[in-house]
Structure 1
């Protein structure tokens, strides 16, 4: 008995250069197109026993468009970026370059007045570790969760027990998936092989 948690990164709500901290915009036209294009591969994940999403508009819309009927989980919200909310990294770097440097260098710092990176990673890990892990039939419990790319990054750092600075080295594309298998406190990254004919 264990858990099989597949995380799906939400479709995009803006271009990469226009991404804003702690943003809650709906899917843009390109995001809707990408969901439709990716749906055949992602629809089977909707068979999971438990289906969740982060509370953002784009995560809910992605999960709904894929037919998951996900339950929004407040614990899966993006990192609280305090006074930087709604700004791009370039805008913040122009206004507060020393604060950005401190934030990138120290996972315990929160120069924006919001949530430190380390607390964000721990919060996402806490959510992972509190998923129900018992199936009366003795099999694995399957979970799918649609969340912001930052949430997927935090989950990977937590599950792999990597240094918090690893967060900055993980690139999560919209609609990409990753599966974690295990139980609370003991996670393993699972990469699926392509189907062979």
Structure 2
């Protein structure tokens, strides 16, 4: 029997255009409202055998609002954006356009001095591959959108550039089933 990992994206904390790299803000008013609307469908996910969350304020707040008793996992941290931390993509592109182009085009590069995209995807995949397998364990992880995107790219063995084409919405769920190195994507309608 395979392990079942449900990834729940944290509630929103700002408009997508206002998001900053490696920003640790908590859920905003619109996000709290969406959590309340989605709670009837999402609360049952808390019955998972193992419950984790990204160590971000937004992920912890989302898990807490839904009544999940989660364990923060450093391995589920967002990508380390080095000196770009706290800035928007537009701000960085205005200051370092060539560095942004390099970062978007080459998954092994880290012009910001932090973690390369490929390293981030590999780290998230390593976390997936250490989940208990072959005993039917169910796992829930509340995580940032970037973490969920990285998990999908890893699980599907997609090229790293696929990461930029995956749109992960707040409070969306994705289910991965399988075992280390062999994952299947299962799309569930949650709410």
TM-score by length of 1: 0.94
Secondary structure of the equivalent of 1:175? coil
Q: Is residue 2:148 matched to residue 1:152?
A: yes
Secondary structure of the equivalent of 2:175? strand
> Which residue does 2:46 correspond to in 1?
46
Gaps of 5+ in 2: none
Secondary structure of the equivalent of 2:183? strand
The whole-number CA distance in structure 2 between the counterparts of 1:113 and 1:148 is 21
> Which residue does 1:177 correspond to in 2?
173
List, as ranges, runs of 4+ consecutive aligned residues in structure 1 with deviation greater than 6 Å.
none
Gaps of 5+ in 1: none
C-alpha contact 2:41 2:190 (8 A) present in aligned 1:
no
Secondary structure of the equivalent of 1:51? strand
TM-score by length of 2: 0.97
Aligned partner of 2:161 among 162, 165, 174: 165
The whole-number CA distance in structure 1 between the counterparts of 2:49 and 2:189 is 23
1:56-67 equivalences in 2 (<5 Å): 56-67=56-67
Secondary structure of the equivalent of 2:62? helix
Q: Is residue 2:186 matched to residue 1:190?
A: yes
